[in-house]
Structure 1
Amino acid sequence: MRYDDHPPTIKANIPTGSAGENAAGELVVRPGSVVHLDCIFYRKLGNPRWTWKKINNLTRSHPFGWALAREERLWRFRVSIFSIQARDEGEFTCTTPRGQTNSIRIVVQTIQCPLPPVIESPLIAVIEGNHAGQKAVYSCLDGFRLIGSNFSECLTSGAWSENKQPFCELIQCPYDMDGADPRLEFDFLNGVGYQAMVKFSCPPGYQLIGPTNATCQSSMNWFPSPPSCQVVECAELLPPLNGRIKESGSNHFVGDVVKFSCNRNFQLLGQSEISCMENGTWSFSAPQCQMFCSNPTSPASGYKIVPQKANYEVGANIQVLCDSGLKLQGRKWLTCQQDGSWSASIGICMNNF
């Protein structure tokens, strides 16, 4: 059987305007639309022929011929109806060189959809009209979110593409946050509505790990996710060289106090007690234990030491002075050495004769 022994296929293309098929199978076109009717037929087998029967006595001629585009001109024999009007209604028939036919019936009609319901705040609608192809676009005032479709179109069937009008829901974020640290504290600065802010904090002895605040989003969720509270712990301390820490464990939390002491013949340089603070640092640096020299003594009398102290730091110098009329036998200056001894023995003050 030859290709052209079958009725041709007709395809409608509406580059401008709108159209649709009704229950009777007719092509219902909005006035002013541009309609291209293509008779699908292989050009090398000859030229088909377009004819049309008018519904009324008004007539208008329409251009026809093979399509111009390269990918269409071998298969599409086209009749074009520009700015279609009611007088263009009728039955359009394509007939092949071997007499096979196919037809399409065109009805020109202004299709109207029912007017949308009255729009009330906080719903906002931008409505082009209620003719086929015209649209309604919906949105909400700030602080509300749209429930339903934000778009509806008047179809050629005379119905809107969305049969339910959307509505606006008040945006409110929850007062509790799923999965949040139970120790986390919340301060809702301006309620829980859209763009409201919550500030996070932790109880004493804990530090905040993560964001310090969050904002209520249109999704009715807080963003970013809540932080956590981590117990504050100060770094472990080692006993000073030639000293020790009194009653100290390996973990130190806020408020813990650590006491230091030194071995015999050593003195403490720094604070004897330091405490763990809320920021996780110690109130003072750990002290050191340093060797000291004791005040030199002698059974002889008639001298004095400057300066006069009970103990002296390593490197300290003292001066030995004799009373009037006495002369020092020994070194005038002594230095406290690293091992806690003086650089020389203290001298003797003797009569000067």
Structure 2
Amino acid sequence: MALTPEDVLNKNFTATQFRRGYDEQEVDDFLDEVVAELRRLGGENTDLRRKLESGGARPAVAAGASAASAQAVEAAEKDAAQRIAKAKADAEKIEAEAAQRIAAANEQVQEATARANEAQGAASAAPTAAPAPAPAPAADAAGLIALAQKVHDEYVEQGRSEHDRLIGDATSRRDKIVGDATARSEELVRSAQSRHDDLVTTAQSEFDRLTSEAQSTHERLLTEAQDRSTSLLAEAEERKQSLIEEMERERLTLDQAIAQLRSFENDYRSRLRGFIEGQLHELTATDGVLEHVNGHEANGRHPRENRGHDQQEQREAEPAHQG
């Protein structure tokens, strides 16, 4: 169960039976509870720091925000730890001073009690020591006892009042210190949480901005790539069409060259055929001349005359062959 300031304020200790004051065990147990509560507060602060360090950070964008938040939380935790340690030290100091004062008061009470006991013993021994009863010494003894009892009661009352005052002051001081430390710790935690939230928001905004810029850049590059692709396709299509037209022109040129070659071939064949036929005709004519010469020789004609006659026939036959 958590220890509250009201528990500290309303805490009551059991009075001892044989001496004035409070039970030391109960006081020690109560102080242990206070220490445990302070440790719990420190543990909560540590848990909050861990949660702040591990809560909601984004892997590449919020690194600076996490570092700044961790530094803020660490500073807040350090300040809170210092304040809590100071509060504990002040509380322990106050408790020590109160214990010293209570011990001094108890010593004074014990001295007064011893004096009262001595006076009471002297008063009890007075009737046996005196040779005869005397009312005046008895009255003095009774007055001494009453005075000792009064002094005892006054010391006890003063010790109780001083004890209550010291305990009250220590409790108030401790409550104030613990309250201030708790408030400061909560304030630092809230401040650190607010700073963490601000940094996370800033990191998220920066992440969104970078994402938007990256998306815009991606779309722009994609558009440029598409435009470039379209342009390249158009250029390739134009180049293809140009090559096709150029090849078509070359094909026509080759067809014309082939036609010319075929025409030349036909003309060449015709001329070659004519030449061969002319040669054959000449050979035929030569054979005829030879036969004619042979016939003239047989008829007694001179060969020279026959040669001249044959040449004339050949000249007459050439125009007909060429035609």
User: What TM-score do the two structures reach when normalised by structure 1?
Assistant: 0.18
User: What TM-score do the two structures reach when normalised by structure 2?
Assistant: 0.20
The structure that is helix-richer by fraction is 2
The structure that is strand-richer by fraction is 1
Tell me which of the two structures has the higher relative contact order, counting C-alpha pairs closer than 8 angstroms and 6 or more residues apart. 2
Higher Cα Rg, which structure? 2
